Amino acid sequence: MPRSFTPKVVTANDLLLGHVVYLTADDRWSGDLAEAEVLIDEAHAQIRLLDADAQVTRVTGVYLADMRDTPDGPQPTHFREAFRANGPSNYPHGKQEVL
């Protein structure tokens, strides 16, 4: 039996900066997970993924990441995505400076 579709966001890495970015509903790339478009329909998610994957001069490594849709915005369901959302962990810089 196939698994039911769970909420997802489109994520990738910015080609110029290498930072983790998320696709927003208004077709921008944002480093803030709270701005990401939460996709709850599998067909729509696949279309958004294809559109994002075509942006080869802007991002790389595009994929759909599982999330929980909460009142505070999307929250990662897997430690990998929580790690990516918080930025590098070797020393405080970038996103971790504000945590």
**More confident of the two residues 94 and 43:** 43
Report the domain count for the chain: 1
- The answer to whether residue 96 is domain-embedded is no
- Domain span at residue 21 reads 8-89
* pLDDT reading at 92 higher than 70: no
Please measure the distance between the N-terminal and C-terminal CA atoms of the chain and give it in whole angstroms.
Answer: 41
* pLDDT reading at 1 higher than 70: no
Q: For residue 74, with 0-12 CB atoms within 10 Å meaning exposed, 13-18 middle and 19 or more buried, which class applies?
A: buried
- The answer to whether residue 34 is domain-embedded is yes
> pLDDT tens across 21-32, in order?
999 999 999 999
Mean pLDDT score, 57-82: 94
Mean pLDDT score, 43-60: 97
**More confident of the two residues 52 and 99:** 52
- The answer to whether residue 68 is domain-embedded is yes
Work out the pLDDT band at 83, boundaries 50, 70, 90: confident
Mean pLDDT score, 31-57: 97
Average pLDDT, the chain: 89
Asked whether 28 and 40 are in contact (CB, 8 A), the reply is no
Residue linked to tokens 């994957």: 53
- The answer to whether residue 1 is domain-embedded is no
- The answer to whether residue 50 is domain-embedded is yes
